[in-house]
Amino acid sequence: MTDRQGFRVELAPTLEQRARLGRHAGLSRVVENFCLEKVKAALEQREAEKTYGIPDADLTPVPWSAPALERLWRLEHRDRFPWFSGEGLSSRVPKEACRVRAAGFRNFFDSRSGRRKGRKVGFPGWRKRKHGSRFRYDADRARPEAARWVRMPGVGKVRTREDMSWLMGRIADGCARVIGATIREQAGRWWVSFQLEIDRTNINERRTVSAEAPACGIDVGIKTFATIVDDDGTVTEVQAPKPLKAALRKVRKAGKAVSRKRLGSSNRAKAVKRLARVHLEVAHRRADFLHKTTTILARSKRAIAVETLNVSGMVANRRLSRAISDLGFGEFFRQLEYKTRWYGSGVWAADRWFASSRLCGGCQAINRKLTLADRAWTCGCGREHDRDVNAARNLLQAMTLEQSAA
């Protein structure tokens, strides 16, 4: 059985290769804006035609799809963008840029119709340089050629800073194949992310969770990132590094340095890069913590009960938004879901309105007066509860009852 998985490594390009990567990122931005221009022009033309009384069936078609956008690019790029052919840039980048833009239009319509879950997606806007440098290759056009070398069309053979023996071995065995690659620049550093179709059967079997492993309930919070209660009564608290809070002084100092520099100056550009490096360090520390924590849980627990949080609603609270965003609750639950599927354990999510913290584990009474500041409370039946431990235990009990009933 194959699965989709990402594999990201940092590149170590030469100065010439950095320039080529930047040109391809600029090409992708130009093509995306070209596609948006064509769609908006067609929509405006349709509106004008309606005023002439032209029937809907005869109105100018809108090039929503990737093939239609790609046809327009092939027809016009020689006249409008002669530098594309002159600089020998890869033809695969415009193809993927058209697909990215078409996916944006599709997501917009699916969001409006309700087929796409989550927050409403707006109509795609113009892509600007400040939005970041990135571009894509389709299939295995960009592929690893050795443990520390990646071949990219239009760029050449680029060295990597990390070893790719794990990936090379699975490609050689036929257990994995590259189905796409995204190249992205952050804080002056370049990464390539391979999208893989991989057979993880052997990996997952070696790391399958034992049937004797405990089940647990997990309550997440701001003070204590995760309170874990096992079915044998063991309580474990996991503290988050809170990387943004730890680096807030550096972020403010770097931000002030940017604001003091003159717009458009080279010193401002250097200050912007320093600020970007601080934010990148924060993001990497958070990602490292989340990956390590979720991997340990997925490999050591046979079943995990979690709560369903309205993270976007929680972030709307201006007093807690920064602290909640710094913890990465949404990414924590997302990683738990796919890693437990890999290793043979499972995640059970409670209903969003399940009163995990307010519910007394003994008499099942609900304390409706409980506030966020109350870290411990006593029920009318006489039981004393630690807020987080009680919530995790209630989640575990609810999962056990539902599974036994099934």
Q: How far is CA 143 from CA 9, 161, 167, in A?
A: 12, 15, 10
How is residue 343 written in tokens? 């290793």
Is 219 tagged catalytic? yes
Sheet holding 189-199, edge to edge: 2-10, 189-199, 176-186, 133-138
Q: Which residue in 70, 185, 307, 326 is the catalytic one?
A: 307
β-strand pairing of 376-378 with 384-386: antiparallel
Is 197 tagged catalytic? no
- The structure tokens 């931000």 sit at 255
Q: Which residue in 32, 70, 219, 231 is the catalytic one?
A: 219
Residue 120 CB contacts under 8 Å (≥ 6 apart), including other chains: 111, 112
- What does the alpha-carbon distance between residue 169 and residue 285 come to, in Å, rounded to a whole number? 29
Q: How far is CA 289 from CA 146, 239, 285, 335, in A?
A: 29, 10, 6, 12
- What does the alpha-carbon distance between residue 189 and residue 207 come to, in Å, rounded to a whole number? 33
**3-class DSSP state of 87:** coil
How is residue 214 written in tokens? 């405990």
Q: Which of 144, 170, 173 has its CA nearest to residue 159? A: 144
- What does the alpha-carbon distance between residue 354 and residue 390 come to, in Å, rounded to a whole number? 13
**Dihedral of alpha carbons 286, 291, 297, 298, sign:** positive
Helix, strand and coil in the chain, % to nearest 5: 50, 20, 30
131 DSSP assignment: G
How is residue 252 written in tokens? 């403010």
Is 351 tagged catalytic? no
- What does the alpha-carbon distance between residue 295 and residue 301 come to, in Å, rounded to a whole number? 10
- The structure tokens 């602290």 sit at 323
Q: Which residue in 32, 230, 231, 388 is the catalytic one?
A: 388
- What does the alpha-carbon distance between residue 90 and residue 86 come to, in Å, rounded to a whole number? 11
Number of neighbouring beta carbons within 10 Å of residue 122: 11
- What does the alpha-carbon distance between residue 28 and residue 184 come to, in Å, rounded to a whole number? 12
List residues with catalytic annotation.
Answer: 219, 307, 388
